[in-house]
Amino acid sequence: MSKSVLITGAAAGIGRATALRFAAAGYIVGGFDVDRDGLAALAADLGSRHVTGELDVRDADGWRAALDALTSRTGGELDVLVNNAGILRSGRFAEIPLADQQRIIEVNVTGVLNGCHAAYPYLKRTQGAHVVNLASASAIYGQPELAAYSASKFAVRGLTEALDLEWAGDDITVRALWPLFVNTAMVDGMDIASTRSLGIRLTADDVAEAVYDAVQPRRRLGGVHIAVGRQAKLMRAASDIAPSWMSRLVNKRLTS
């Protein structure tokens, strides 16, 4: 039987590119999102072998329905879960409405929590299963003008580390991807100090390829965190050896 993957936020950007990458590799893809038009376009590109559907990742019941829709075609197994859905608001913390910041936490953190919890039984019964959580290089050090988003990715980082240890006995690996800014609709119109300093150099296809690479057998012995792109790799390597005061200084210079 073909391997399977469930991808959230699959209607556009990184999620769509990831869905197409796994489909090209022969996986049965379950692509879910809240964007109906984007889902219709994805379904047309994927074909009838695959599953698409609406899912608000904050909705635990919706998760169960999405998993049932996909695993009904796979004998109840799930090889890969990709928690990609996320939202972002940039700007000064005090100037962004509180409701918008709360929604960032709900989607980016609660959505990943819901997905991991709902998918666990399917992953456990699948040999060599994987979870890939989309974190961010903003989880290296808290980012001004991205405070709530950065905090949400620190939460994803912690959850990933904990579950990778906790689920190792169930033959489930859990990985976090750490891209910097990616050229998708999420960063349209964004003009903050860090984008001016670092630019927007990654494409959705770059990240999709990194997601696919993260679930290859040779990756099972690798680290939990996978930086995507040269900039993120350099920043992560530097953070591993630099004292905290230096990390703060570097981030202050990049974001001011």
Annotated active-site residue in 120, 122, 149, 212: 149
Nearest to 227 by CA among 179, 158, 188: 179
CB-count burial class (<10 Å; 0-12, 13-18, 19+) for 201: middle
Residue 22 contacts residue 212 (beta carbons within 8 Å)? yes
Nearest to 66 by CA among 74, 55, 82, 80: 55
User: Is 120 one of the catalytic residues?
Assistant: no
Distance CA 148, CA 11 (A): 24
Please list the active-site residues.
149
